[in-house]
Each structure stands twice: as structure tokens, then as C-alpha cells.
């Protein structure tokens, strides 16, 4: 397999600066109703760092070392993994696949768009992992279709048991940051 060259590069930033930028961009204060129904005065909006092209490119560059050798394609999960996998594909030269939550019921009826998955070694790409539930479901479906999936990467591990649950399914998770690291970076920047 030949080494792929990145399509574009961005100026590198230190890990500490990147953590602080992510925290400052995505951490919100106010009154928010959470998925559980609880009300919180803090919310972490991951789409704010995914919607910032400069920050997203810096994140993709920082994630490059997390990609194990032998990966043939990056599989981004709907919806938050899609902008991330696109940026990571551009930064690495690896092809991107776009994985739906459920296969289309019309047209191609595919679970993953952008290329074939059967027999290919894929790396699942997600933005934030809490319980790991969507990675587990999507990986199971990708494997049923013949993909080889052993690892996943994410920008943020919320440290809510996802790493352990994924490991039980034979999926190793590598995170660019743990939520506690981002919170510490935010406290230092305050």
C-alpha cells in the first residue's frame, strides 16, 4: 500500500491551544433542556467546532496520528461524523465513507455511501462519544456487510462508559481529547 499525501495542510497548534479553542467554541452557558429531560446551565455544542472551518481543519490534522496503519477508508457516522470524516479525509488522503443510521429504503439501499465496504478495513469516525451506542450499532451493521472494523476515533470522549462498552464489542476507541481535558483547558483559559 502506498503512503497517501494530505490534500491540504494547516498551521499546527499545540494540544493545549486546540483544547482551549474547542472548549471556548463549543461550551455554552444558559438554560438548556438535555436529552434526559434534565435542565442544565451548561451545554457542549459539538456542531460549533464542526462548523468552524479553521478549527475543524486543525482538529483533523491533530487526529492524523490516531489513524492506524492498514486503514483503507474512513467511515463517518451520520450526522456529526460527516463533517469530521470529510476534513480527516482531506487531511490524510484516505477515502471517506458516509454511514447512515439506517440503510436507505430506496435507490441504492446502501448503509454507507461513497464506496464499497465489503472486505475493506475501515476506521469509524465520530465526533463525540458518550455511551458508544451509535458506534456499536453502526459497526455491527458494517461488519454484517463484510467490513473489517476494529477501531474507532473521536474528537471527544465524554468519559461516560463508551470506551468500555466498545471494547466489549471488539472496538478500540482512540479519542483526541477526554471531556475532563477540555474542561481543564477551559478553566485555564478563564
Per-residue pLDDT at 149 exceeds 50:
yes
What percentage of the chain carries pLDDT values higher than 90? 74
Residue 165 confidence class, pLDDT cut points 50, 70, 90: very high
d(CA 92, CA 58): 13
Of residues 176 and 32, the one with the higher pLDDT is: 176
Confidence (pLDDT) at 35: 67
Confidence (pLDDT) at 11: 62
Integer CA distances (angstroms), 24 to 32, 71, 114, 164, in order: 17, 32, 33, 28
Mean pLDDT rounded to a whole number for the chain: 90
Residue range 15-189, CATH number: 3.40.50.2020
Average confidence (pLDDT) over 145-158: 96
Of 114, 121, 86, nearest to 100 by C-alpha is 114
Confidence (pLDDT) at 109: 83
88-109, pLDDT tens digit by residue? 999 999 999 999 998 878 777 8
Q: Distance between alpha carbon 19 and the CA centroid of its chain, in Å?
A: 15
| 163: enclosing H helix or E strand | helix 162-168
d(CA 66, CA 76): 15
Amino acid at each position: 500500500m502506498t503512503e497517501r499525501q494530505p490534500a491540504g495542510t494547516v498551521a499546527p497548534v499545540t494540544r493545549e491551544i486546540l483544547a482551549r479553542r474547542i472548549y471556548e467554541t463549543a461550551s455554552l452557558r444558559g438554560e438548556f433542556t438535555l436529552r434526559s429531560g434534565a435542565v442544565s446551565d451548561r451545554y457542549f455544542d459539538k456542531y460549533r467546532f464542526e462548523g468552524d472551518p479553521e478549527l475543524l481543519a486543525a482538529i483533523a490534522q491533530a487526529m492524523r496520528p490516531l489513524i492506524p496503519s492498514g486503514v483503507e477508508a474512513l467511515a463517518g457516522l451520520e450526522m456529526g461524523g460527516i463533517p469530521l470524516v470529510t476534513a480527516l479525509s482531506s487531511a490524510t488522503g484516505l477515502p471517506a465513507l458516509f454511514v447512515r443510521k439506517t440503510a436507505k429504503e430506496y435507490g441504492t439501499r446502501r448503509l454507507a455511501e461513497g464506496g464499497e465496504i465489503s472486505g475493506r478495513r475501515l476506521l469509524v469516525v465520530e465526533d463525540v462519544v458518550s455511551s458508544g451506542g451509535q458506534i456499536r450499532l453502526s459497526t455491527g451493521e458494517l461488519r454484517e456487510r463484510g467490513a473489517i472494523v476494529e477501531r474507532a476515533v473521536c474528537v471527544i470522549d465524554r468519559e461516560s462508559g463508551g470506551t468500555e462498552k466498545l471494547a466489549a464489542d471488539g472496538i478500540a476507541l482512540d479519542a483526541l481529547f477526554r471531556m475532563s481535558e477540555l474542561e481543564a483547558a477551559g478553566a485555564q483559559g478563564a
